[in-house]
Amino acid sequence: MNNVAVAISQDFMVAFSQVTKKQQKKVLEFVTKFRKDPRSSGINYEKINDSKEKNYRSVRIDQDYRGIILKPDSGNIFLLLWVDKHDDAYDWARRHSCSIDAATGALEIYESQHIAIETDIHTDRNPVFHHESKSPADRLINIEPQQLERLGVPEKYIKRILEINLEDELEQLESVLTKTAYEALFLLAAGAKWKEIENEYCTNLEVVDTSDYLAAIQRVQSKRTFFVPESEGELLNVLDAPLEFWRVFLHPSQRHLIERDWNGPIRVLGGAGTGKTVVAMHRAKWLAEKLDHDKSEKILFTTFSTNLAIDIRQSLKKICSPATLNRIDVINIDKWISDYLKSNNYPYTIVFSGSNDRYEQIWTEALQLNDEELCLPESFYNDEWQRTILPNNIRTKSEYLAIPRLGRGVPLNRKERARIWPIFASILESMDQNGLKTLEQATFDAIELVKQNSSTRKYASIVVDEAQDMGPESLSLIRELITEKPNDLFLVGDGHQRIYRRRATMSACGINIIGRGKKLKINYRTTEQTKRFAVSILENCHIDDLDGEQDSSVDYISLTKGTPPKIFETQSTDLESKYVIEQIEKLISEGISTNDICIVARIKKPLELFARALSRRKITSHILDRHNDNSNIPGVRLSTMHRIKGLEFHYIFIVAANENIIPLYYSTSGTEDGIELRDLDFNERALLHVASTRAVKQLYISSSGQLSPYVKPFIT
């Protein structure tokens, strides 16, 4: 093929995924041949006389199936738009337009219903257009007509949009607006500032050539829905899993973060489903492809969770060539620390609470020194150890007396601290004598080793996912692992999803993000109804932005509509199991793959009960853990709330949503400190928030006992 580009639309990939497996093979053969030479005499183009675009052509796949192609009058480019059975393909061509927006320069596909809406303009069928003229204060979207023009809103709809005062009314215009305009309007309705929208959605071009499709396909706005494969291998890889849009179709807001040089650390926030991990993975790929192949430098991709690191490596295989993947180290931060210390002959054993008998004995012995006059419960000392001593690497009495105890609910003056210190002094001394260190202490030791050994700084860039779960010692280590320079650190996270009790401020860890704090605001995963439910679980909770300021919960939206979560409350485990399995069987009867269904519980025991219940109904199931990847094996998935983080399923069933399980009683009953209890309550809420936002199409919640107080308010 000589200088001819072939672009594939996201719509084509959706249609391809719905073709039978037998027919997919024929479509794939055609697309491969078409990409090599779209002008081949073997391709039978047929004009579609009543199509929306004069340059639409149908192409024969076989006797039954046709593809819809757009061949512009000028420019060496062909666009693959749709594939379907003959009549359905022609019907699609009659209903859809594909053109370059004169305002934004984006190549857009949209369903054309202009005539129908014009016909209904004065009838009750379209009440959206019947409002009296609104004052700016009453408008849902309070901007000027010329600003709407810059977003690509057709002139005939500008006045009507300015009259809208309800979100439902805006939804009625979805079919007559481009994706770009509709999305921008919804963000404005949600409270986004015009300057943000202008930077994100408006072109800087004074004049857009609406006939230059080759130029349009290169614009970042077009790349969200069009993809130009660079090789046959890349084409086959994409069509192997056509609905994994994240692999090739990036929103402009995502691409702006990924494909550019940053003059230092960047922090990217975003609610669940906004594509933070996708952005992090593509950023790692982009950085790895820029590396000097003659050097041994690599990209480090790290996160807190072992499970998530495994999932990310599997996903990176789908977007990276083997050579690129080989230049990315994917490892969770605790494993990196352990491996690094081991390679440096670290003389200590790393221990965790409940993991080492001698460690537990040391604590028991130290608590004998408790000053009873202070009237502090044993839980206080554990909280003080976890929240003050370890994160601040306290080793001496003078350090303890001087350190601010931020976030601790029990106030202590200097004299009281001095009376408490002997307990911690005893623990520290005994641990040294027994060759034991906590992970936090070991991390600080790793920092010192890195400082002494500059060869450890072998990474060109570091990408951090789920940064909200990192403690101050981990973020300080990450800062130490790489010299301050352009493109050094790329951190993504969301305080709404902090399911562990670690909390750190980036600036306090030496990570300066001033001027480089960004946020993703469009939820691609869940419906708006599920998102609203998940956000409401955290209502009135303080959510930080990972750098000491407050993050908002109301400035991200989902453009996908659905039904609210379905909540079922009963007093019997048998009745709960019966309800859930009936719903699953109904989904299966409707053609839903069991791979797309996941049962989620706060603890593992209910999963075992449901696995047996599914087995009795001859439904295959798999309990997810870090050691298996059953993504291609049929069967309903079962997962704890911690394990499901980072995954998504079309249908999520949160089971055993009982009080004392959500929140888990023993997780929130181990302290008498009001602030600690508040933090523990937040972590439990965040777990339910995370589990809920894994649902793409529908969320189900059930209990066998008193319903969780987190869910009870949503019963109507």
Report pLDDT digits (tens) over 502-558: 889 999 999 999 999 999 999 989 999 999 999 999 998 999 999 999 998 777 889
The domain 565-714 is placed in CATH, from the list 3.40.50.300, 3.40.1380.10, 3.80.10.10, 3.90.550.10, at: 3.40.50.300
CA 680 to chain centre: 23
Report pLDDT digits (tens) over 206-261: 788 999 999 999 998 899 999 999 888 888 888 888 888 899 999 989 999 999 99
Residue 599 CA to residue 580 CA, distance in Å, equals 9
Bridge partners of residue 269, in order along the sequence: 493, 519
Give the model's pLDDT for residue 134.
Answer: 53
Hey, what are 12's tokens? 């084509």
Residue 575, phi then psi, degrees to nearest 5: -70, -35
Question: Which element (helix H / strand E) includes 691?
Answer: helix 674-692
Give the model's pLDDT for residue 124.
Answer: 37
Give the model's pLDDT for residue 377.
Answer: 87
Report pLDDT digits (tens) over 649-679: 999 999 999 999 999 987 666 666 777 788 8
Give the model's pLDDT for residue 384.
Answer: 92
The domain 250-340+443-537 is placed in CATH, from the list 3.40.50.1010, 3.40.50.300, 3.30.365.10, 3.30.70.2970, at: 3.40.50.300
Give every CB contact of residue 465 below 8 A, 6+ residues apart in sequence. Answer: 276, 277, 280, 301, 302, 303, 308, 312, 492, 493
- Residue 460: CB atoms within 10 Å: 21
Contact call for residues 150 and 103 (beta carbons, < 8 A): yes
The beta-strand segments (E) located in 38-145 are 45-47, 56-60, 65-70, 77-85, 96-100, 107-111
Secondary structure letter of residue 541 according to DSSP: -
Domain ranges of the chain: 5-102+215-245, 107-202, 250-340+443-537, 349-434, 565-714
Helix/strand/coil (H/E/C) assignment for every residue in 453-474: CHHHCCEEEEEECCHHHCCHHH
Give the model's pLDDT for residue 120.
Answer: 40
Hey, what are 651's tokens? 């249908």
Which positions of the chain have pLDDT values less than 50?
Answer: 1, 114-133
Give the model's pLDDT for residue 49.
Answer: 87
> Concatenated DSSP letters for 579-630?
HHHHHHHHHHHTT--GGGEEEEESSSHHHHHHHHHHHHTT--EEE--TT---
- CATH for 5-102+215-245 is 3.30.2310.20
Give the model's pLDDT for residue 278.
Answer: 96
Give the model's pLDDT for residue 123.
Answer: 34
Same fold, 5-102+215-245 and 565-714: no
